[in-house]
Structure 1
Amino acid sequence: MKLKVIITGATGMVGEGVMQECIANPKVEKILLLNRKPSGVVHPKVTEILHNNFSDISPIVDQLKGYDACYFCLGVSSVGMKEEAYYAVTYTLTLNFARSLAAVNPGMTFCYVSGAGTDSSEKGKIMWARVKGKTENDLTKLPFKAVYNFRPAFMKATKGAKNLKPIYKIFSFMYVFRVIFPYYFLTLEEVGKAMINVTFNGYSTHTIEAKDIPILAKE
């Protein structure tokens, strides 16, 4: 069996890295990119749909049937955002998208890129962590085959990546600390491999912490 996958956020660093691994990985035969703007990617495995409103995917939902997994890499930084605005993008948009997708692909595995330090109690003092926690919790209630919430920490971009924010270029040297903290400094290649492998093999928990990602990537 080979996978047919949907990837959101391929015009961002994380989504691009996951896409690059899916292109390189022989376990994946078809990739559907859902983007607001063109990615510029041309590859025999890749098809792209442009859609402006990810909170309402009803106009394109029939084109999303028959896929094995969705790797949801769409997201924004909470820096400078008020909770209401961050909640709308991080929680409301994600859940609306996922509900519609689950309705047409109940046999699908849904992998959500969250973040290290996410607050599953939804009651902590850190705004982004509470919102991410609620998003994770409610995603796991949807009628997918499985939902896995990935909580990576520092991620090194894949070689040749185009969608790098300046801050990642500035702090890329920090990856050398992987020698000391091997499970918290990851590569996007590992994140992509871990998503592919968890789609095939599952995992013992819905929460994929940073330390779990290299383990899953090696399976």
Structure 2
Amino acid sequence: MMWARVKGRTENALLAMPLEAFMFRPGVIQARHGERPRVRSFRLLYTVLVPLMAALRWLLPNQVTTTEHIGRAMINIAADGWPTKVLDARAINTAANLS
């Protein structure tokens, strides 16, 4: 997939720069507070997955996060930093719960 290659090159370039940058790799994102995907195909997929999201979070807790957790994690990490530069869904959820 071309977007994955572009994202990978971008992440590597940012990590090579002398700045404090963190890469978020959230995996499955559950929209919260009425947010909806903008891309039509994602909206259709989301409509199908919403009823299964609780089971998905239970089965794959380290690969599912929410839009709310991503936002809170970004705020907490901007304020306090984080020990690693690349955060998966599990690290995002952990960082979100620090506040």
Give me the TM-score of the superposition, normalised by structure 1.
Answer: 0.39
Question: Which of structures 1 and 2 has the larger relative contact order (alpha carbons within 8 angstroms, sep 6+)?
Answer: 2
Bigger-Rg structure (1/2): 1
Select the residue among 9, 13, 36 that pairs with 1:134.
9
Aligned 1:153-172 pairs, distance under 5 A: 153-164=27-38, 165-172=43-50
Instruction: Tell me the distance in 2 between the aligned counterparts of 1:160 and 1:128.
Output: 27
Give 2:94's aligned residue. 215
Paired AA for residue 151 in structure 1? R
Instruction: Tell me the distance in 1 between the aligned counterparts of 2:69 and 2:29.
Output: 9
Residue 201 (1) aligns with residue 75 (2):
no
Please report how far the alpha carbon of residue 133 of structure 1 lies from its aligned counterpart in structure 2 after TM superposition: 1.1
Say which structure is richer in helix: 2
Instruction: Tell me the distance in 1 between the aligned counterparts of 2:14 and 2:66.
Output: 25
Paired AA for residue 35 in structure 2? A
Please report how far the alpha carbon of residue 163 of structure 1 lies from its aligned counterpart in structure 2 after TM superposition: 4.8
**SS, match of residue 78 in structure 2:** helix
Residue 181 (1) aligns with residue 56 (2):
no
Identity of aligned residues (%): 34
Residues 104-133 of structure 1: CA deviation (Å, up to 9, x unaligned): xxxxxxxxxxxxxxxxxxxxxx54332211
Give me the TM-score of the superposition, normalised by structure 2.
Answer: 0.79
Gaps of 5+ in 2: none
How many aligned positions are there?
93
RMSD: 1.9
Give yes or no for contact 2:63–2:88 (8 Å, CA) kept in 1.
no
Say which structure is richer in strand: 1
Residues 33-54 of structure 1: CA deviation (Å, up to 9, x unaligned): xxxxxxxxxxxxxxxxxxxxxx
